[in-house]
Amino acid sequence: MKTLLLALLATATPLAAQDYRQRLPQDEVIYFVLPDRFENGDTANDRGGLKGGPLTTGFDPTHKGFYHGGDLKGLTRRLDYIQGLGATAIWLGPIFKNKAVQGARGQESAGYHGYWITDFTTVDPHLGSEADLRAFITAAHGRGMKVYMDIIVNHTADVIQYRECAEGSPCPYRDRATYPYQRRGGVKGQPINAGFLGDDVQTAANFAKLTDPNYAYTPYVPAAEKNAKTPAWLNDPIYYHNRGNTSFEDESSTTGDFSGLDDLYTENPRVIAGMIDIYGSWIDRFGIDGFRIDTAKHVNPEFWRSFVPAMLARAQAKGIPNFHIFGEVTAGMDPGALARWTKIADYPAVLDFAFMNAVIQTVAENKPTRILSNLFEGDILYAKGEATADILPTFLGNHDHGRFARDVRVENPDASDDEILKRVELGHAMLLTLRGVPTVYSGDEQGFAGDGNDQDAREDMFASKVASYNDNKLVGTSKTTATDSFVTTHPLYREIATLARLRTANPALTRGRQVIRARGDAPGLFAVSRFDPATGREYVIAFNTSAKPLKQAVQVETASQRFATMAGACAPTAAAPGSLMLELPAFGYAVCAAESR
């Protein structure tokens, strides 16, 4: 169905071939991977150096919530596969040393995902060593590929306990008004922390007066975990909010424990300085190229206004001029909710959940294409307007939300396998040609669909032993996850690889201004033009979200009179000055490049 003008691609100079340090954030195609679920390069580290069963070591390859054995050596071994997909940057799920197992009795799971950190200064032994990380980064950089680390400042592993809460029982959030910092256990309690002026006065002198952490609950560290965390200052409860579990609303969103995890007191200057030291060290030691920041909206904005500039300065000093920082703001299903954080917290970029939502609505849920135009018309809301929108990592699904292919299947239960594949391909075409930084979640290129979100969307790329993964029906193939999934002939792998190379070979698709050309109040045509920033050459990108073929004229520049087909099928000439006739099959797309001026 799709063709490419290979001669044009052959004469272009891919951005990936240039000095990778000089590429801008929007020049990249990102591949996101959880190392434990990718490839097992060294079975000797499967148990992380621990002895015993799964509840001690965290290793159980048959359980979707435990370590499966993937590691940094395996990831390094598969760089050919990742680069073959057209990826120019790898977003590496957290690799810091984690608490191997946590959770109430009978509900335990493991830290395979990397978000339960105990030691912020080194690599989790389940994933390998610092030498393995350095070898991976060196190998990636040698290929001209960037490496982004996934980092966490909001919380640590669940170590601190509250005497008021029995094991496994909920610890509801206790707010500042009812449990002020200056009283022990509530308004009527014994005076403590005399002279402390509250969170808003973020000076060392003020926080020196906060010496008693027993204002809401009575926190304590079990004797066996007294020194569980590194750096050592993280073991002191005074550096945590200790107010119970967040409800994800109002003040608890930034000062409550995220699912029981120890919530760091990020208003405290000592915590700010400590986190700058921790993550600055990773830049200094390993020369990484950016940070994806977990749970960004659950940290007070003032923290980011100190942390982000410090990281950018550290990277600049290391000779990394285009260090990319993007935060996770999960509630941002519309541009306004996301844009707010680029202003109140000075975030350079955030993950574009609004893009994901718009593509799901139009491609999976059969809603009007006007939803896509509404998304892009909101770009002006970001801190630097369209310049910020250009560097937002866009995506279709992830390890928390779940897989895009599942969204398509759930919303179209009677669709044929071929239709499901075409819809999933259409979503990826949008991802790889529209503004933003396309981010592919590992496994999507193999047709992974999952059973839901979280653990149900974290399938193994190497041969899986998890029954609930292996019974999944994949998209575009009859195979299952019971055998390894590094198939370079899969139709989604081929499509992504082709479009990724088309994107990186043509600056209009990475850095080009985007203008909406067509949208509607039903499924059907959505079209934009993107313009080469140096030559002004116009690229018309069109999508058909309906189950019927369409033929429709779209406006183009009057100077754009002859067109080359870059993907799909394009009319060779304009129908009239300023008008290009498009013909698209059901769920089809096209990229049409005007002659250079």
**pLDDT at 19 (0 to 100):** 87
Residues 59, 63: Cα–Cα separation, whole Å: 9
- Backbone phi and psi for residue 151, each to the nearest 5 degrees, phi listed first: -125, 160
Residue 12 belongs to a domain: no
Q: How far apart are CA 304 and CA 344, in angstroms?
A: 9
Nearest by Cα to 437 from 15, 21, 29, 86: 29
Spatial CB neighbours of 555, under 8 Å, sequence gap ≥ 6: 517, 578, 579
User: Which CATH number goes with the domain that contains 565?
Assistant: 2.60.40.1180
Distance CA 545, CA 543 (A): 6
Tell whether 112 is covered by a domain.
Answer: yes
Give residue 303's domain range: 29-156+269-503
Same domain, 133 and 282: yes
- How far is residue 453's CA from residue 445's CA, in Å, rounded to a whole number? 18
Q: What are the helix (H) ranges across 215-334?
A: 252-255, 269-286, 301-317
Listed residues 474, 503, 532: the one ending a domain: 503
pLDDT on residue 131: 98
Contact between residue 243 and residue 179 where contact means Cβ atoms under 8 Å apart: yes
> DSSP per residue over 426-491, as a string?
HHHHHHHHSSSEEEEETTGGGT---SSSGGGG---SSPP--HHHHT---SS-S--TTS----TTSH
Nearest to 429 by CA among 360, 527, 499, 531: 499
Residue 13 lies in a domain: no
pLDDT per residue, tens digit, the chain (597 aa), is 344 444 344 334 444 445 899 999 999 999 999 999 999 999 999 999 999 999 999 999 999 999 999 999 999 999 999 999 999 999 999 999 999 999 999 999 999 999 999 999 999 999 999 999 999 999 999 999 999 999 999 999 999 999 999 877 889 999 999 999 999 999 999 999 999 999 999 999 999 999 999 999 999 999 999 999 999 999 999 999 999 999 999 999 999 999 999 999 999 999 999 999 999 999 999 999 999 999 999 999 999 999 999 999 999 999 999 999 999 999 768 899 999 999 999 999 999 999 999 999 999 999 999 999 999 999 999 999 999 999 999 999 999 999 999 999 999 999 999 999 999 999 999 999 999 999 999 999 999 999 999 999 999 999 999 999 999 999 999 999 999 999 999 999 999 999 999 999 999 999 999 999 999 999 999 999 999 999 999 999 999 999 999 999 999 999 999 999 999 999 999 999 999 999 999 999 999 999 976
For the chain, how far is it from start to end, CA to CA, in angstroms? Answer: 29
Active site residue 150: no
Q: How far apart are CA 503 and CA 394, in angstroms?
A: 14
Same structural domain, 222 and 286 = no
State residue 18's pLDDT score: 54
In contact, 427 and 363? CB cutoff 8 Å: yes
Helices (H), 152-300: 204-207, 252-255, 269-286
Let me know whether 488 and 536 are in one domain: no
Number of structural domains the chain divides into: 3
Residues 41 and 76 in one domain: yes
161 with 144, same domain: the answer is no
pLDDT score of 597: 60
Closest CA to 408 of 449, 443, 465, 349: 449
Does 466 reside within a domain?
Answer: yes
Gap between the Cα atoms of 94 and 292, Å rounded: 10
Classify residue 534: in a domain, yes or no.
yes
Per-residue confidence (pLDDT) for residue 11, from 0 to 100: 36
What is the CATH number for 300? 3.20.20.80
Helix (H) or strand (E) holding 55: helix 54-57
- Compute the distance between CA of residue 176 and CA of residue 193 in angstroms, rounded to an integer: 14
DSSP string over 533-555: TTT--EEEEEEE-SSS-EEEEEE
Among 40, 33, 140, smallest CA distance to 92 is for: 33
Assigned domain for 22 exists: no
Task: Verify that 89 and 78 share a domain, yes or no.
Answer: yes
H or E segment and range at residue 593 = strand 589-594
- Tokens standing for residue 419: 């239709």
Among the three residues 249, 264, 279, which one is the final residue of a domain in this structure? 264
DSSP 133-152: HHHHHHHHHHTT-EEEEEE-
- Choice among 294, 444, 495, 532 that is catalytic: 294
**150 belongs to a structural domain:** yes
493 and 477 within one domain: yes
Which two structure tokens, joined as six digits, stand for 345?
A: 């917290």
pLDDT at residue 333, rounded to an integer? 80
Distance CA 429, CA 150 (A): 26
Distance, CA of 95 to CA of 150 (rounded, Å):
8
Residues 244 and 359 in one domain: no
Q: Of 60, 289, 328, 444, which one is the catalytic site residue? A: 328
Nearest to 423 by CA among 449, 450, 454, 460: 449
Asked whether residue 281 falls in the same domain as residue 220, the answer is no
Q: What is the pLDDT of residue 15?
A: 45
Q: Are residues 460 and 549 in the same domain?
A: no
Beta-sheet strand order (sheet of 563-567): 513-518, 525-531, 538-544, 589-594, 563-567
Last residue within a domain, chosen from 264, 284, 317? 264
DSSP-derived letter for residue 527 is E
Do residues 234 and 281 share a domain? no
> Is-catalytic flag, 328?
yes
Q: Is the dihedral of CA 187, 188, 194, 195 positive or negative?
A: positive
Three-state DSSP at 33 gives strand
DSSP 324: E
Residues 251 and 368 in one domain: no
Instruction: Tell me if 89 is assigned to some domain.
Output: yes
Q: Which two tokens stand for residue 418?
A: 């071929």
d(CA 391, CA 335): 14
Residue at token pair 């985007």: 514
Tokens 């299947």 belong to residue? 409
Please state the pTM of the whole predicted model.
0.96
pLDDT computed for residue 332 by the predictor: 65
- Tell me whether the omega of the peptide bond preceding residue 231 falls within 30 degrees of 0, making it cis: yes
